[in-house]
Amino acid sequence: MFSYEKVSCSMQTILKNIEKEGLVVFDGDCQVTVQQIVQARSRLRTVVHRTPLQHSNTFSAMTGTDLYMKLENLQKTGAFKLRGAYNKLALLSEAERKNGVITASAGNHAQGVACAAAAFGIASTVFMPETAPLSKKAATENYGSRVVLTGCNYDEAFAAAQNAAVESGAVFVHAFDDPDIIAGQGTIGLDIMDELPDAEAIVVPIGGGGLISGIALAAKTINPNIQIIGVQPEQSNAAALSWRSKQLEQIAAPMSIADGLNVKRPGEITFPLIDRLVDDVVTVPEHAIMHAMRLYLERAKLLVEGAGAISLAALIDGCGYLKGKRTVVLVSGGNVDLTKIGMLTERSV
């Protein structure tokens, strides 16, 4: 059983690897370090669940890999997002906390910010796109946040939230493009490497890139040879396009059942990390995502949302170069809108 008390890679080893690989300094304002990730884990150790890293014989056979699932769908709030949100709010000054926080989210970041804000006694407002799942809106309100529904997608809600933050003086908490958010999400990479130090690959969903950036930085600092594979929906593929062209690309209308990944472009901070540390970014069709969601239900008895199921979808749909490798799929969340779950029973997907 994993324990935060038992850390297989000492800080000294981490620092040596940072020096050796030169993974600290990035172009422009992109300055995220493994020290920040280690410090974030210290803050989070009594806050977040120690989610299982569970081996699956069934999915190993299906994919031809030695497959482990990092089950962040079992995290508090039902997704990994609490890690980054709590780390960010923990670092705010007292003056900043008094002004409250504002964020934009399709749902999971909203719940993470709402939960963290409640823990610190901070007033919070969340802007969500009008297409956000009702279950995520209700859960966010239950944590005590005020929810404002606006816009057709994350980016439109984001613009409205930024304007509101400027007008009110509240702190804007970015869903992914913030060093403190990235460091919080990166604690997952440390957890994986602590418990499975001989992992050969980690497959991670990409929306704006905060999750994969933090995991890649943590994991590659400890083992520079580990492969980090990003996955996006075919219909929401801005990060994939950016990774291939080596420059930030934007798409007009991201729209996928993996609603947490519906972002028009990756972040200014996250993209240099993705560009430097991620080995491949693949895309999968909608039917493959729904198929993976159904497999989690049928074979693993796990309720997994589209963004959480996409890593398994990528292994089933392709990624032949991972055959035979000890591979971790990041199951990033389990907040499924139950009004739409009937589509998973359609055998055409």
Alpha-carbon Rg for the chain, nearest whole angstrom, is 19
CA-wise closest residue to 51 among 73, 35, 30: 73
Cβ-based burial of 300 (10 A; exposed 0-12, middle 13-18, buried ≥19): middle
172 strand-pairing partners = 102
Which residue is it, tokens 């040596």? 16
Cβ-based burial of 314 (10 A; exposed 0-12, middle 13-18, buried ≥19): buried
Please, are residues 232 and 281 in contact by the beta-carbon 8 Å criterion? yes
Structure tokens at 219: 């994991």
Structure tokens at 107: 């749902």
Structure tokens at 93: 């000054």
Residue 76 annotated as catalytic: no
Please, are residues 141 and 209 in contact by the beta-carbon 8 Å criterion? no
Task: Collapse the DSSP code of 194 into the 3-class scheme (helix H, G, I; strand E, B; otherwise coil) and give the result.
Answer: helix
CA-wise closest residue to 67 among 75, 57, 79: 57
Please, are residues 219 and 226 in contact by the beta-carbon 8 Å criterion? yes
Residue 81 annotated as catalytic: yes
* Residue 345 to residues 63, 241, 316, Cα–Cα distance (Å): 22, 32, 19
Q: Which of these is catalytic: 70, 81, 220, 264?
A: 81
| Buried/exposed code over 124-159 (b: 16+ C-beta within 10 A; e: otherwise) | bbbbbbeebbebbbebbeebebebbeebebbbbbbe
Residue 95 φ then ψ, to 5° = -65, -40
Residues written for the chain = 349
Q: Tell how far CA 246 is from the center of its chain.
A: 21
Element (H, E) at 134: helix 134-142
| Catalytic annotation, residues | 81, 332
